Amino acid sequence: MNFESSIESSLVMKDLYFKKINFVNKGIHKDKTPSKQVTAVFNLGKDIVDKNNMNLTLRCDISMINLLEISLELYGEFELKSAGEEDNIKKYLSNAVAIMFPFLRSQISLQTSQPNMKPLLLPAININKLLEDQAKKGNI
């Protein structure tokens, strides 16, 4: 698809796929509404290949007491095209994570829309806060 050059993103997703999907249904579903005791933990791995390329791994572990456990690992490769001297792909980290998150969210909903279950819909998250928390943990 061709856009006006002024609105086309400099960040390009070259590849995106799930490296890991693990789903454990514990089979205890007294009612079909998702448990209010849902725990979701996100982790981000980052590999800066050079100033124009980076690889990211977005991990999510979800636990719903007595219902299920889900673990996903989404891998993405990103490239900065038409980068100027001032540009560096590190500046685009939040954009790359924001591109990946809807795919992760969709896969979780798909996995939990099994018979005898009500789909789990992750709410929108604050990507900047996620990155801040990951930086404090030393993950990025």
**Domain CATH number, residue 113:** 3.10.420.10
The pTM for the full model equals 0.84
80-138 per-position pLDDT tens digit: 887 665 667 888 999 999 999 999 999 999 998 877 777 888 888 999 999 999 889 88
**Bigger pLDDT: 8 or 92?**
92
| Residue-range definition of the domain harbouring residue 76 | 11-137
Q: What is the pLDDT of residue 34?
A: 53
Q: What is the pLDDT of residue 81?
A: 84
Q: Is the residue at 121 inside a domain? A: yes
Q: What is the pLDDT of residue 32?
A: 53
Is 97 in contact with 135 (CB distance < 8 Å)? no
